[in-house]
Structure 1
Amino acid sequence: MDNFDFTQFVTFDSTLPYQMIKDTVLKTFLIRGFTVIDFENIEEVKKDYFSSYWRKYSFELKMDDFLGGFMEWEIRDNIPIKVKEFIDDISEILTLSTWDLRVIICSFAEKEKTCNEYVCTKRDDMYGELFKMSPYSLVCPDNLIIKIMEEI
Structure 2
Amino acid sequence: MVQYEGKTVISLQVNGETFEVAVRPSDILLDILREQLGLTSAKAGCLNGDCGACTVIVDGLPAKSCLMLAVEAEGHVILTVEGLGGLAPIQKAFVDADAFQCGYCTSGFLIVCHALKMNYPVLPEEYIIEEWLQSNLCRCTSYQEIRKAVHLMYEIQA
TM-score normalised by the shorter chain: which range applies? Answer: 0.3 to 0.5
RCO comparison, higher one (Cα < 8 Å, 6+)? 1
Q: With structure 1 as the length reference, what TM-score do the two structures score?
A: 0.33
Per residue, is there more strand in 1 or in 2? 1
Q: With structure 2 as the length reference, what TM-score do the two structures score?
A: 0.32
